[in-house]
């Protein structure tokens, strides 16, 4: 993905120099920033109440054979995909603006694996850390700060040459259309592009929703069902809120300085989780419990920042937001994140990185 998920590689700080923008664009960006705060707050509150977490979903499947949290994530992805294409088909948003005519298969895979392994080390992705901040976690604040700084250093700092080299080495040009499933197949002669779009939306988006809701145990967990729907709806809401702004943005916590909207969304998550924690009387101060976990969390945060910058997104940026556009690059990222997450979890079991990798291939999920 190009605009929203591209983290603004021409300069993170540039988007904040609002005096250089036309007055109308400045006003629209300001309005979008307020929408971002609200969207982030909804995500934060819903994630806190339901314990919404991609890492937790994978771990629950591995150790408890419990698919409920993963089904919540899949429900959110399905709702986001259907909602995004409903708005695009109606002409309310234009997702072609944010799709590039190439597939970044190598950077998304490398970045996805790094991000997934990092979130296993840190006990959750960036969104999960933001939710914990709102509930009183100083440890999560450290994780987010390190991840954000590492992402910036990778995107526009000293590591940028490595980032660019990986992108050049692993980019597949499509040329004829944006690198999204419905656009790539929509150029086939005699195939109606709108029909092609809705076939993919029905199969992938509808399939995710049906798979999630068919399980009675999951349906009984109303907090997770509601959270999946609400979080999923926030993805097309983000596209709509930034449609006419200077920097169209996704919900992407790996690129908080890409736009005013992106930054306000990041701030909104702990605001929402704080309100939910306060209302449920679950506010609790948390810090590092022993010295041994400090380096592990720092390394995990750095891997998430590096991986998020290389892959152009996180579990939200490329996961929910990227998948909502049927981006092929996003699908590579999701695969990488899942593999990296499995690797990280198995490394805890095997008490080593390489033994953990062997365990992944031996046991799988």
Residue 261 lies inside a defined structural domain of this protein: yes
CB atoms within 10 A of CB 91: 7
- Contact predicate 279/41, CB 8 Å: no
List phi, psi (to 5°) of 208.
Answer: -65, -40
C-alpha closest to that of 306 among 116, 128, 142: 116
Q: How far apart are CA 355 and CA 315, in angstroms?
A: 26
- Contact predicate 103/256, CB 8 Å: no
Residue 319 lies inside a defined structural domain of this protein: yes
Residue 69 lies inside a defined structural domain of this protein: yes
Residue 119 lies inside a defined structural domain of this protein: yes
Residue 3 lies inside a defined structural domain of this protein: no
Residue 4 lies inside a defined structural domain of this protein: no
- The 3-state DSSP class for residue 159 equals coil
- Contact predicate 328/108, CB 8 Å: no
- Contact predicate 308/83, CB 8 Å: no
Return all residues near 316 (Cβ < 8 A) that are at least 6 apart: 125, 126, 127, 250, 251, 252, 253
Residue 2 lies inside a defined structural domain of this protein: no
Structural domain including 191 reads 13-363
Q: How far apart are CA 80 and CA 317, in angstroms?
A: 12
- Contact predicate 88/243, CB 8 Å: no
Residue 8 lies inside a defined structural domain of this protein: no
- Count of the separate structural domains present in the chain: 1
Q: How far apart are CA 298 and CA 253, in angstroms?
A: 17
DSSP state of 21: S
What is the pTM assigned to this prediction?
A: 0.89
* Chain center to CA of 307: 12
- Contact predicate 100/178, CB 8 Å: yes
- The 3-state DSSP class for residue 291 equals coil
C-alpha closest to that of 329 among 164, 165, 112, 125: 112
Q: What is the pLDDT along the chain (365 residues), one digit of tens a residue?
A: 444 444 443 444 444 334 334 444 577 788 999 999 999 999 999 999 999 999 999 999 999 999 999 999 999 999 999 999 999 999 999 998 888 888 999 999 999 999 999 999 999 999 999 999 999 999 999 999 999 999 999 988 888 898 889 888 888 887 777 889 998 888 888 888 899 999 999 999 999 999 999 999 999 999 999 999 999 999 999 999 999 887 778 899 998 888 889 999 999 999 999 999 999 999 999 998 888 899 999 999 999 999 999 999 999 999 999 999 999 999 999 999 999 999 999 999 888 999 999 989 887 55
DSSP string, 48-95: HHHT--HHHHHHHHHHH---HHHHHHHHHHHHHHHHHHHHHHTTS--G
């Amino acid at each position: 993905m190009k605009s929203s998920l591209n983290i603004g590689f021409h300069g993170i700080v540039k988007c904040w120099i609002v005096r250089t923008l036309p007055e109308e664009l400045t006003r629209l960006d300001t309005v979008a920033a307020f929408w971002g705060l609200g969207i982030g707050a909804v995500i934060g509150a819903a994630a806190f109440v339901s314990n919404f977490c991609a890492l937790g979903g994978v771990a629950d499947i591995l150790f408890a054979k419990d698919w409920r949290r993963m089904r919540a994530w899949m429900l959110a992805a399905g709702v986001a995909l259907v909602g995004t294409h409903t708005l695009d088909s109606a002409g309310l948003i234009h997702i072609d603006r944010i799709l590039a005519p190439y597939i970044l298969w190598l950077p998304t895979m490398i970045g996805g694996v790094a991000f997934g392994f990092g979130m296993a080390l840190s006990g959750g992705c960036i969104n999960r850390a933001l939710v914990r901040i709102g509930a009183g976690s100083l440890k999560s604040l450290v994780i987010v700060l390190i991840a954000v700084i590492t992402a910036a250093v990778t995107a526009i700092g000293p590591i940028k040459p490595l980032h660019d080299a990986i992108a050049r080495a692993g980019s597949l040009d499509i040329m004829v259309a944006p690198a999204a499933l419905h656009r790539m197949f929509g150029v086939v002669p005699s195939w109606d592009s709108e029909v092609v779009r809705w076939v993919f939306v029905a199969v992938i988006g509808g399939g995710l929703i049906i798979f999630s809701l068919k399980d009675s145990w999951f349906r009984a967990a109303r907090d997770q069902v509601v959270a999946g729907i609400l979080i999923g709806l926030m993805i097309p809401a983000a596209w709509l809120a930034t449609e006419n702004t200077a920097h169209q943005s996704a919900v992407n916590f790996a690129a908080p300085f890409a736009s005013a909207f992106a930054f306000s969304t990041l701030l909104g998550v702990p605001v929402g989780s704080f309100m939910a924690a306060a209302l449920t009387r679950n506010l609790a101060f948390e810090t590092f419990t022993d010295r041994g976990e400090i380096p592990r969390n720092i390394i995990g945060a750095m891997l998430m920042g590096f991986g998020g910058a290389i892959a152009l997104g996180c579990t939200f940026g490329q996961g929910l937001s990227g998948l909502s556009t049927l981006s092929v690059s996003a699908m590579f990222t999701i695969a990488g994140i899942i593999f990296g997450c499995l690797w990280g979890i198995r490394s805890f079991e095997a008490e080593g990185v390489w033994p953990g990798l062997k365990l992944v291939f031996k046991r799988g999920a």
